A and B are shown apart, each in its own frame.
Chain A
Amino acid sequence: MSIMEYNGGAAIAMIGKDCVALASDLRFGIQAATISTNFPKVFRINSRCFLGLTGMASDVQTVYEKLMFRVNLYKLREERDISPRVFANLVASTLYEKRFGPYFTEPVICGLEGEEGNLKPYISATDLIGAPVETDDFLMTGTCNPALYGLCETMWRPEMGPEELFETVSQCLLAAVDRDAISGWGAIVHIITPDSVTTRKLRGRQD
C-alpha cells in the first residue's frame, strides 16, 4: 500500500478559450472506508490563481496552509497578487525543500496569467518533489490518473468556451472517478474567466 493511495482523490486542470477549469472529486476516505463526501481538493489562492492537491489528505491540507502563508507574505511585501506562473514556481521550490522527506501530494496549479485586458490561461503541475511541467491543454493528479489521461486526451479540444469547458471537464472527471474505487462521491468544478469564477457541484455516482 502506498501512502499516495491511502486517502484517494482526483483533480483536473483544463485550458479553454480565455478561461481555465479546475475540478476535483469530493471523497475523503481512509482506505476502503469513506469518511466524508464533502472534501474538495481545490483551493483559491487569489482571484487569478487556483490550486488543486491530491494524495495524502493531511499533506493536502498542510501544503495548502504553508503555501497560503508564503502567498500572504508575498502579497504584504510586494503589494501585489502573486501570478500563477510565479506561484507555480513557489510550489515547486516549497516541495523541493523537503526533497528527502517529501509532502505526499502532487499539486496542479491553474489560473489566468498576465495583466488586466491581456489574460492568458495558465496551467502547471508538479510531482511530490517539485518537478514542474507546463502544458497548454490539460493536467491531472490523483489515484485515477490512467483513466483521467485517456478521457482528457479523447475529449479535450482547443478553444472551448466556458460552458463547453465545464461540460468537458465534468464528463472527464466523473467518468474517471467511476473507474476508481477510492475517488468520487461527487465533484466540484470551478470555471475561471477574466470576469468571474463559476463554481458548480456535481452529484455523480454516490459510491
Chain B
Amino acid sequence: MSEQYSFSLTTFSHSGKLVQIEYALHAVSQGSTALAIKAKNGIVLATEKKLPPLIDDKSISKINLLTPHTGMVYAGMGPDSRVLLRSGRKKAEAYFRLYKDPIPVVGMVKELATIMQEFTQSGGVRPFGVSLLIAGYDEKGPQLYQVDPSGSYWAWKASAVGKDMVRAKTFLEKRYSDDMDLEDAIHTAILTLKDGFEGQMTEHNIELGIIGPDRQFRVLTTAQVKDYLTVIG
C-alpha cells in the first residue's frame, strides 16, 4: 500500500481534452446567469437570484466582497464558490500582512486561478463547478476578470457566465461603449438581465454589486435595487 502517491482524477482523453473540466463548465452553464460591465469609472456586477418561493432571499447572496476594493459573483455551484471566497479572502489578508498594502486586482485573480488550476491536477479532488467574475479597483483603475474551472482567466470589458451567457453577451456587445459611465453600466446591466428574465424582475430576485472611484466594493441593498428598477420601469 503506497501512501505517498495520490493520483489525479482529472486525466487527459485521447483527443487532448480534460473531460472533468468540460463537465465542470457544463455545471456552470446550468447555474443562474451572472454578468458584469466595466465602465470608465467603475464596475457593476449583476446576477439573477431565482430561488424557490419559501427560501428567505435575504439569507443568500451570490455577490460577495473579497476585499474592500474587490468583489466577486459566480455562476454554478454555490458551495464551491464559498470555498473560493474563503480562500481568496485569506490570500488577500496574507498579502496585506506581508506588505501592508492591498492586494492588486490581478494578484487576487491569479491566486484564485491558481487554486482552481490546482484542483484540476491534484490527487483525489475534482475541479470547482463555478466560473467567477471578479471586479476590482486599484492603481491601474477598474478591472474585470473572469476565472473558469480550468484556472484560465481573462480580462473583460463586459462578460456573462451561466445559463443565459450567450444571449447576454450578444446583448452586451451591442450596448457596450468604452466611455460608459458607471450609472450607464448599471442601467445596461439591469436591462441585460431583464432581456432574458423569465417572469417579473423584482428587487428580491436580482442582486447588484458596484465599485466606483471611491474604490469601495458594495452589494446594493434591496431598497437601492428597487430604486434602479423603478427608474427603468
List A residues at the B interface (Cβ < 8 Å). Answer: 77-78, 83, 85-86, 89-90, 93
Contact = CB atoms under 8 A, between A and B. Distances in A.
A86 B99 contact: yes
Nearest to A97: B98
Nearest to B103: A78
A90 to B, nearest CB: 6
B104 A86 contact: no
A78 B107 contact: yes
A165 to B, nearest CB: 27
A90 B98 contact: yes
A77 B99 contact: no
A89 B100 contact: yes
B98 A78 contact: no
A89 B101 contact: yes
Interface residues of B, number: 8
Contact of A86 (B97, B100, B110): B100
A124 to B, nearest CB: 11
Interface of B: 97-101, 104, 107, 110
Which of B97, B100, B104 has the most C-beta atoms of chain A within 10 angstroms of its own C-beta? B100
Contact of A89 (B98, B104, B107): B98
17 contacts: A77-B107, A77-B110, A78-B104, A78-B107, A83-B101, A85-B100, A85-B101, A86-B99, A86-B100, A89-B98, A89-B99, A89-B100, A89-B101, A90-B98, A93-B97, A93-B98, A93-B99
A85 B100 CA distance: 8
Nearest to B104: A78
Please classify the interface of chain A as helix (H, G, I), strand (E, B), loop, or mixed, using the class held by over half of its residues: helix
A90 B107 contact: no
A177 to B, nearest CB: 33
* Residue from B99, B100, B101, B104 having most chain A Cβ neighbours under 10 A: B99
Contacts of B104: 78
A77 B100 CA distance: 17
B107 A86 contact: no
A157 to B, nearest CB: 30
Contacts of A77: 107, 110
A83 B102 CA distance: 13
Contacts of B97: 93
Contacts of A85: 100-101
B98 to A, nearest CB: 5
Contacts of A78: 104, 107
Nearest to B98: A93
Given A86-B101, A89-B101, 7 more contacts: A78-B104, A78-B107, A83-B101, A86-B100, A89-B98, A90-B98, A93-B97
